[in-house]
Structure 1
Amino acid sequence: MFGISGHALSKVTSTEAERLDKELTPVGAERGGNTSGSIPEWIGGLKTPPKSWRKGQIETNPFPDDEALFVITSQNYHLYRDKLSDGHVRMLEQHGPEFFMPVYQTRRTAAFPEHVYAKSRENATRAELLDNGNGVRNTIMTSPFPIPKNGLEVIWNHILRYRGTEVAFRSASATPQTNGSYNPVVNDYEYFFAYSKKGAELSEIDNKIFYLKTDTISPSALAGTITLVHETLDQIRSPRLAWRYDAGSRRLRRSPNLAYETDLPNSSSLRSVDQKDMYNGAPNQYDWTLKGKRELYVPYNAYLLHDEEVRPDNVIRPNHINQTLTRYELHRVWVVEAKRRTGIGHIYDRRVFYVDEDSWQILASEEYDEAGNLWRVSEAHNISYYSEPVFWTTMEMTYDLKANRYYIDGLSDGFPAYDFKPAFRGSDFTASAARRAARR
C-alpha cells in the first residue's frame, strides 16, 4: 500500500519508461494477458471502426455476435466472489434477482492516437506531483503517471486522461422514483480540453484542464439554465471557477461552492459534485492509498446501452437500470482507497475506486458513510468512440442503497452522435460569452 505526504518526486527513470514499449502498453497497462487466458493480450485496442458504422452516426456495436458467457446472480455470486467488488456484491444481495451481471468475453478495446502515446512516454520521465499531491507539473495532454507509485498518481491519471481536444453532445439525466417513474433533464454539453490540445505547453494553458458549458434544454422549468466551469490543474493555488445563469433571475452569478460534497445539480441529492465523471476536482480532502491491482468483473464495451435505438424507457427500472442492456467483462483494475482527512466535513468518510489499467477511466466506485457503512455504489459504462479514438463513458449512475433510488446520466432520446470536432475557441467559454448565449 502507498500513501503520500509532503513533496514527492514522481517521475520515473528513462530505463523504467522503456517498459512502456515492452511489457507495458503506452499508457502503462500490462501488455500480456492473464495466466488463464480470460484476459487477453493487448494488441492495440479497437483502432478501426466496424464496417457497420458511418461517420456522423452513433457508434455501432463492433461485437454484434457476442453472447454472455454466463450471468452472475444473487443465487450464484459466491462462485465469483473473488472477482466482484464489494459494491457489486451488495447490489446483487439487495436487488437480486432483478439485478444481475451478464459477463461477456473480455475485449481490450481502449485505444488512443499515436501522439497521445508519445506524450504518455514523455510524461513518465517528467511529471511530478506538487506539494501534498494537490496538482501536477511537467505534464501535458494525457495521464501524467503511466507507471504509478501511489494512489494519488492513479487518481490524477483518471482526472487528466485523454478525452479528445473538444466535444459537443446532448444527453439526459434522471433520478427515478422507487416505482421507476422519472422526469428527465436534458442538457447540451460543450467541452474544450485545453490540457489535451495538440502542441500545447503547460505554460500556455493558464492552469486549466478544460472548459465546460452546459445549457439546460428541458424541462421548461429549468430550460435556459447555463453552467460554465473552468477546471484548474492546481485547484488549491487557483480553485475551480464556476458560473451559473438562472433563466428565472436572468443573471449570471459565480458559483463558488460547485465542488466537493455539494449536491450535483438536478441529482435529488443522490450524487455529489465530485462524483461527476466518477471523480473530479482537488484531491486534498482525502488520504489516498494504492491497494494494488485486481481482476474484476466491471462494466465495459457498453454498446448495447449506447445503441441509437435505446431510449430512457428501455433503460430505467425501479432500483437500478435494465441489466439486460449491460455488459461486464473481466479486466485488471487499480484499486485506490480514499480516506477522509481529519477535520474534513465531506459526506463520504471512505471511498474505493476501481480504475481501468487500459484507459485510466474509473469503472466503478463505492462510497461509505460516517459509520463505515456502504452507502452508494457507482458505475461508469464505457465505449471506444470512433470519430476520435478515445475510451470514455456513455452512461454513469450512482445507486443509493439507503434510499433505493439512483441518479443516471448519459440517457439518449434520439440525440445526435458526439461531435469531437465542433471547432470551439477558448473565447467561447468566457463569462461574457455565457452571458451573451443566455440572452439569445
Structure 2
Amino acid sequence: MQFKPKSLILGMALALSSSALYAAVSAEEAAKLGDSLTPMGGEVAGNIAGTIPAWTGGLSTSDDRYVNPYANEKPLFTITADNMAQYQANLTPGQQALMQKYPDTYKINVYPTHRSASIPDSVIASTKENALNATLTSDGNGISNLNEGVAFPIPANGLEAIWNHMTRFRGGALERTFVQVPVQANGSFTPVKINEKMSWPTYLNGKNSDQDNILFYFVQQVQAPARLTGNVLLVHETVNQITQPRQAWTYNAGQRRVRRAPQIAYDAPGTATDGQRTTDNLDMFNG
C-alpha cells in the first residue's frame, strides 16, 4: 500500500472544500425560489409572533408609479426615554444613549411591518439563473457567471451574503440628493448637500466588452457648502477587484484638476465627513 504525504491529503481536502464552498446550488434548491422562498431568497412565511407578515408579491404600480398604501397609517406605539426599559432588548446601545442624552426630543415611532418589495419578472428570471450558475472567484473577491439581480439568492456562507447586498436590484439606475451632517464634539456642524447617481451597465446605451467586469458606475457631486461645491467623485466599481481594482477619479473645483483616486477604498475617510465615516461604510458595506 502506498501512502500519500499528509500535506498532499490536506491540500486535496482544502481544494474539495473550497470548490464546494464556491459551488452554485442544485436545481432542486433553486426550485424553492418563488415557492417557499421569495424570488430573491427570503422566507415567504411570516414570523410566529405575527409581527412580520408573509410575503404576497409586494406592491404593484399604477401608470408606472407606486402609490403609497400606508399614507394614513398611525404608529403602533412610541418609544421614549420614559418607557425605553420596556423595549431595551430591541434597542441598540446608540439609540439608548440618544434617549438618555435627549429625553425630551428623541423618540422612535414604531409602525406595522410590511413586506412591500416587488421585483420585475426579468430580474426574477436572471436571479434564478444566478442561483444555478454564479460562483465566487478569487477567494471570494469576485463572481463568475453573474447576471442582473441578487448573485446568490440561496447563500451558503457570509461572503455570498455580502455579495447579495452589493448586487441587489435597485431599479437599474438611481439618483438621490441628500444632506449629511458631521457633528463635532462641541455640537457645531455644517450641513453638506450631495447629489449621487448610479447606473448598471445593462441600462446604458452602447454596452461593450470593456464593461464585462463593471458592477456599476457611480458619480457624486457636492452642492453645498460653498467651499466644497463642485467637488466630484467618479467611480467605476468592478465585479472582480483582484483582476481589475476599483477605478476612481476626483475633481477638485477649487484647483480645477482631475486626479486618479486609488485611496477611495477601505478605511479612507468618506467625502466631506470630517473623518466620521470611511469609504467602506457607504451603503453599509462598500468594496
In 1, distance between residues paired with 2:149 and 2:265? 23
Structure with more of its chain in strand, by fraction: 1
Task: Describe the shift of the 1:33–1:235 C-alpha distance in structure 2 as closer, same or farther (beyond 3 A).
Answer: same
Task: Describe the shift of the 1:95–1:129 C-alpha distance in structure 2 as closer, same or farther (beyond 3 A).
Answer: farther
Match of 2:283 in 1: 277
Structure 1 residue runs without a partner (length 5+): 282-440
Kindly indicate whether the alpha-carbon contact (under 8 Å) linking 2:138 and 2:242 is maintained by their aligned counterparts in 1.
Answer: no
Deviations 1:218-247 (A, max 9, x none): 222222212111111111221111111112
Kindly indicate whether the alpha-carbon contact (under 8 Å) linking 1:224 and 1:247 is maintained by their aligned counterparts in 2.
Answer: yes
> How far 1:170 sits from its partner (Å)?
3.1
| TM-score normalised over the length of structure 1 | 0.56
Match of 2:35 in 1: 22
Task: Describe the shift of the 1:28–1:9 C-alpha distance in structure 2 as closer, same or farther (beyond 3 A).
Answer: same
> How far 1:201 sits from its partner (Å)?
9.8
Structure with more of its chain in helix, by fraction: 2
Match of 1:183 in 2: 190
Deviations 1:86-127 (A, max 9, x none): 554555556556433221111111122111111111111111
Kindly indicate whether the alpha-carbon contact (under 8 Å) linking 2:61 and 2:67 is maintained by their aligned counterparts in 1.
Answer: no
Match of 1:250 among 244, 251, 256: 256
Structure 2 residue runs without a partner (length 5+): 1-16
Kindly indicate whether the alpha-carbon contact (under 8 Å) linking 1:224 and 1:246 is maintained by their aligned counterparts in 2.
Answer: yes
In 2, distance between residues paired with 1:10 and 1:95? 50
Match of 2:130 in 1: 123
Match of 1:167 among 152, 165, 174: 174
Please list, as runs of the form range in 1=range in 2, the aligned pairs for 1:303-382 lying within 5 A after superposition. Answer: none
| TM-score normalised over the length of structure 2 | 0.83
In 2, distance between residues paired with 1:116 and 1:200? 21
Match of 2:74 among 54, 67, 74: 67
1:110 has 2:117 as partner: yes
Match of 2:155 among 115, 137, 148: 148
Letter in 2 for 1:229: V
**C-alpha RMSD of the superposition:** 2.9
In 2, distance between residues paired with 1:112 and 1:144? 15
In 2, distance between residues paired with 1:246 and 1:164? 30
Letter in 2 for 1:241: Q
In 1, distance between residues paired with 2:226 and 2:163? 38
Match of 1:350 in 2: none
Q: 2:193 aligns to what SS in structure 1?
A: strand
Match of 1:392 in 2: none
Please list, as runs of the form range in 1=range in 2, the aligned pairs for 1:193-204 lying within 5 A after superposition. Answer: 193-194=200-201, 197=203
In 1, distance between residues paired with 2:116 and 2:166? 20
1:11 has 2:24 as partner: yes
Letter in 1 for 2:252: D
Kindly indicate whether the alpha-carbon contact (under 8 Å) linking 1:164 and 1:193 is maintained by their aligned counterparts in 2.
Answer: no
Letter in 1 for 2:50: G
In 2, distance between residues paired with 1:27 and 1:236? 27
Kindly indicate whether the alpha-carbon contact (under 8 Å) linking 1:227 and 1:244 is maintained by their aligned counterparts in 2.
Answer: yes
Deviations 1:269-298 (A, max 9, x none): 1100111111110xxxxxxxxxxxxxxxxx
In 2, distance between residues paired with 1:136 and 1:199? 24
- Higher Cα Rg, which structure: 2
> How far 1:37 sits from its partner (Å)?
1.6
